[in-house]
Amino acid sequence: MIYTLTANPAIDYNIACDGLTANTVTRTRNAVYTPNGKGLNVSFTLDHYGVDTTILGFFAGFSGEFIVKGAEALGVPVKPVWTDGITRVNVFLNAGPDTEYNMVNAGAAINEANEQEMFELIDSLDDMTCLVISGSLPPNTSEGFLAEVLRRVKAKGAEFVLDISSHQLADLIALEPLLIKPNDDELLDIFGIKVSGGDDESVKGAMAELHAKGAKNVLLTLGGAGAYFSNGEHIWFANRTFDVKLLSTVCAGDSSLAAFLSVWHDAPERVEDALRLSMATGANVVECPGLGDFAKVDEYKKHIEVRQVC
C-alpha cells in the first residue's frame, strides 16, 4: 500500500475572471472547491490509475471535515489526525491567458500531541510499503517532525518518497529516499544547484550530486520544458511535442509524480512508460481546475518524446 502524508492540507478554491482591477467588483466564474493538498492529489491520481492508496494528514474544523468526506466520496480512504483550528482554504484565480494568482494560507497549527498521534498511526500501518510526503508543514511543527516520521517508516522496512520544497530536504536526503522530485527552482534554492532545460551536461552533474547526497532516484521537473529521471546508472529526458491551454498549474506536479509512481514503483524497468504517463498527465491537469478528469491522457501519451541521455 502506498500511503501519502499531507501535513498541511487545504480546500482549493479555483475561480476564473477576465482580469483584475483594484477597487472594483470582480465577477468570477467556474468556481470549483476541491479537497486538496499535495499528498491528497498524489493519492487521488494513484487511485485513478488503479494503485491502492490511503491518505494521512492533520485536519481541523469544518474545512477539514469537507476534505476527509470529499476524499472518501472519491473512493480514497483517509486516516486523519484531528487538530484544533480550521484547515486552510487556498484561492487560485485564473485572470486571463497566462495570468494566475495563487493565494496560499498558512494552515492550522499542530502541537506535540498531534505529532505523537501521527507517529503512533504510522507505527500501526502494517501494510505500508511506501510513504509519499508532499507539501508544506503547518505552523508550530517541530524541527524534527519529518526526520522522526522517516525514521519510523524505515524501521517498518518501507520506502519513502519526498516532494517537499522545505530546506529540510537538504538534510533528509541523507536518509536515502527511494525518490525525490525537485523542480529546477527548488534544486537551486535548496541545494544551490543550477540546471538549464535541454542542457544535459548540467543535469548529469546535478544528478550525480543528488545521488552522492543519498537520493536513490531523482525525478527532476522543469515545468513545460519537460522532466529528467535518473536511477543512478542512467538518465532519461521526456518532453511533450504539443501546446496546452494553461488554466492552472496548481496540481500538475503532484499528478505527474503520482502517474510516474503508478507505473515505476512496481516495475522500475519501465522508466519510459512511466515518464510518458507522467508528462501526459501533467499536461492534461494544467488545462483543468484542480485535477480534472484525466480525459486526454491517453491521447497526450502518443505525443510525449522520451530519450535516454546516458
CATH of the domain at 33: 3.40.1190.20
Among 153, 180, 214, the domain-final residue is 153
Q: List the catalytic residue out of 254, 266, 293, 298.
A: 254
- Mean pLDDT taken over the chain: 94
Same domain, yes or no, for 2 and 125?
Answer: yes
Mean pLDDT for the stretch of residues 18-24: 90
Residue 254 appears among annotated catalytic residues: yes
Q: pLDDT grade, residue 297 (50/70/90)? A: very high
Nearest to 94 by CA among 12, 182, 185: 12
Same domain, yes or no, for 14 and 119?
Answer: yes
Domain assignment of residue 44, yes or no: no
Domain assignment of residue 158, yes or no: no
Sheet with 304-308, strands from edge to edge, namely 78-82, 53-59, 2-6, 130-134, 159-163, 179-180, 218-221, 227-230, 235-240, 304-308
Same domain, yes or no, for 145 and 261?
Answer: no
Mean pLDDT for the stretch of residues 82-87: 97
Same domain, yes or no, for 108 and 171?
Answer: no
Q: 17 phi and psi, to 5 degrees? A: -155, 175
Cβ burial of 103 (10 Å; 0-12, 13-18, 19+) is exposed
Same domain, yes or no, for 215 and 148?
Answer: no
Same domain, yes or no, for 100 and 144?
Answer: yes
What's the pLDDT score for residue 291?
Answer: 84
Each residue's pLDDT tens digit, 148-206: 999 999 999 999 999 998 999 999 999 999 999 999 999 999 999 999 767 899 999 99
Among 153, 176, 191, the domain-final residue is 153
Q: pTM to 2 decimals?
A: 0.91
The identity of residue 16, as a single letter, is A
What's the pLDDT score for residue 246?
Answer: 82
Domain assignment of residue 45, yes or no: no
Same domain, yes or no, for 79 and 143?
Answer: yes
Please state, for a pLDDT cut of 90, what percent of the chain lies above it.
Answer: 80
Domain assignment of residue 238, yes or no: yes
Q: pLDDT grade, residue 250 (50/70/90)? A: confident
Cβ burial of 88 (10 Å; 0-12, 13-18, 19+) is buried
Residue 80 predicted with pLDDT over 80: yes
Residue 124 predicted with pLDDT over 80: yes
Please state, for a pLDDT cut of 70, what percent of the chain lies above it.
Answer: 100
The range of the structural domain enclosing residue 119 comes to 1-38+61-153
Among 133, 153, 173, the domain-final residue is 153
Each residue's pLDDT tens digit, 203-230: 999 999 999 999 999 999 998 889 999 9
What's the pLDDT score for residue 196?
Answer: 78
Q: pLDDT grade, residue 48 (50/70/90)? A: very high
Same domain, yes or no, for 177 and 144?
Answer: no
Q: 54: helix, coil or strand? A: strand
**Count of C-beta atoms within a 10 Å radius of residue 268:** 12
